[in-house]
Homo-oligomer: A and B are copies of this chain.
């Protein structure tokens, strides 16, 4: 009768189980790093985005006027919200502030593989440290989270760069160049022909010769050459910062996943230092899996004390494509430890067993629909029950229940008083 809205998804239990295992992997790693979970609103003032200009996000906003005339937007990203939260409690929060959260965001975009209008991210950020260790910790968390999900260095790489290298090289030209436009051109370069790319650089203020030279220099990724070419304090400092971040990443165990790639620019204008994107090493997932970087100016722009910041936000849709490509996407199925099957009027005793097993933390289902033996067994099979406990009137007359292993079909009768008894997780194998 009602249809789902395009670009929005329903997750049924099988797929949700795989997503939950993935989210747990990301979040468990974040907790081990001492990132602290926060909770954030779905709506913010639309001005948070519309006050900016030249950003694709504005055109993609789900925004509207609420009942009291506020112009509000369903949040298309988390960063402005966490910046607002840092500013609101800047004095009382001990630094560095290390936060994470997992939730949906919304953008009215063209729907395609790995891109939806409602999409989920796990955002991880550090506020209050400009040290290279903070950038490296973000990289290390991302690497640990991905390897924890079963990926290896054969599956992914972090392409890493620094905003001041690109910006500094652009500014080292005598010409009057629009630096942000040039960076956006670099960011889009892998989706453009060389001619189109050079045209964008020329639009930004470079000559045709300079555009070709700039392209060659950036594509080389040679930090020493870049430093020598620009020969400015800004570029020298940026190269050193990038090298320091990589040295810290070495200590943190993440260096092996990092490749210097000066073409990695990140589209969003608020980035200020190291930026990086995660890619499928084999290129089968052609788009960036996710990205992150340093954004030292945002808190001040939001009215706060100057506060350096660095963060990353894996999107679950592209990440799931990579996990599937690598063959480590979790099974899309539900699991069940016990199904307690009732035959005849055995509800009281069956319920006692169910409660005992659930108290031990197991996943336990029983009949709540008054169904036949066969229907219950089919249902137990459909939920992948490992063990079925058959509580029948005749068995109970002998003070017994039957324990059935669903994989092998083997079964055994045991005294009802001894099930589960003092065992934590009794199966057929324990009892046979």
Contact = CB atoms under 8 A, between A and B. Distances in A.
B38 A10 contact: yes
Interface stretch (A44-52, A174-182, A185-193, A227-235): A44-52
Contacts of A32: 358, 361-364
A241 B155 CA distance: 58
B363 A8 contact: no
A99 interface: yes
A382 B370 CA distance: 55
Contact of A2 (B40, B47, B64): B47
A218 to B, nearest CB: 29
Nearest to A336: B34
A96 B10 contact: no
Given A10-B81, A134-B368, 7 more contacts: A1-B84, A2-B48, A10-B40, A10-B88, A42-B118, A67-B108, A253-B351
Given A84-B2, A383-B34, A39 B369 contact: no
Contacts of A94: 378-379, 382-383
B368 A133 contact: yes
Contact of A334 (B36, B40, B334): B36
Interface stretch (A123-131, A276-284, A417-425): A123-131
How big is chain A's contact interface, by range?
35 or more
B369 A133 contact: yes
Nearest to A302: B1
Counted per complex, copies of this chain come to 2
Contact of A131 (B1, B42, B369): B369
Interface stretch (A16-24, A207-215, A285-293): A16-24
A367 B133 contact: yes
Interface of A: 1-5, 8-13, 16-17, 19-20, 28, 31-34, 36-45, 47-48, 62, 64-67, 70, 72, 74, 80-81, 84-85, 87-89, 93-96, 98-99, 104, 106, 108, 118, 126, 128-131, 133-134, 136-137, 144, 248, 251-253, 301-303, 334, 336, 347-348, 351, 355, 358, 361-365, 367-370, 378-379, 382-383
Contacts of A44: 2, 4-5
Contacts of A128: 369
A4 B365 CA distance: 43
A370 B16 CA distance: 41
**Which 5 A-B residue pairs are closest in the complex by CB-CB distance?**
A11-B39, A64-B64, A13-B36, A34-B365, A1-B303
21 contacts: A2-B48, A2-B302, A4-B88, A5-B70, A10-B39, A10-B41, A13-B37, A17-B37, A32-B358, A32-B363, A34-B336, A34-B363, A42-B106, A74-B74, A94-B378, A94-B379, A94-B382, A98-B365, A128-B369, A134-B369, A144-B358
A410 B106 CA distance: 51
Most buried by B among A10, A34, A334, A336: A34
